[in-house]
């Protein structure tokens, strides 16, 4: 799950780099801007979902619930990031709040898409075995 979310979030980091640093003057690893939070949120989503649904599988989870678990994973990762940033830099509340909101929203969307992909994969497997 973590690797899938990291790969999926990679273009978002590149897009942010394209918008923020159009001339390439900043020495920022823009690929990491998308992949690191995507990996962490995917890992937390996998853990939270695994603990919450028990023996059931992701394809059996309702879409609103998978979106909720995705949002919770994004919120957890965002709050940890916020604590680290606030401990090291003076607060810039608008920026930090927007980052936590974006991570939470992307995680909710990724949670729903993960459940949809799991459902599609299950239906393909059952169609091929029949």
- Residue range 48-83, pLDDT digits in tens: 999 988 888 898 999 999 999 999 999 999 999 888
Q: What is the pTM of this model?
A: 0.84
69 Cβ contact list (under 8 Å, min separation 6): 45, 48, 49, 52, 61, 111
CA dist 54 and 129 (Å) reads: 26
How far, in Å, CA of 65 to CA of 71, rounded? 10
Tell me which residue range forms the domain holding 32.
2-129
Structure tokens at 89: 């830099």
Give the per-residue pLDDT at 130: 56
**Residues making up the chain, counted from first to last:** 130
Q: How many domains does the chain have?
A: 1
């Amino acid at each position: 799950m973590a690797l899938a979310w990291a790969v999926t979030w990679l273009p978002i980091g590149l897009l942010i780099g394209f918008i923020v640093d159009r001339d390439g003057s900043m020495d920022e690893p823009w690929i990491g801007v998308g992949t690191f939070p995507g990996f962490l949120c995917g890992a937390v989503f996998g853990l939270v979902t695994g603990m919450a649904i028990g023996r059931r599988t992701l394809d059996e989870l309702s879409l609103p619930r998978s979106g909720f678990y995705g949002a919770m994973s994004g919120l957890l990762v965002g709050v940890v990031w916020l604590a680290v940033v606030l401990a090291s830099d003076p607060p810039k509340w608008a920026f930090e709040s927007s980052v936590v909101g974006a991570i939470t929203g992307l995680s909710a969307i990724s949670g729903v898409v993960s459940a949809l992909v799991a459902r599609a994969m299950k239906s393909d497997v059952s169609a091929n075995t029949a």
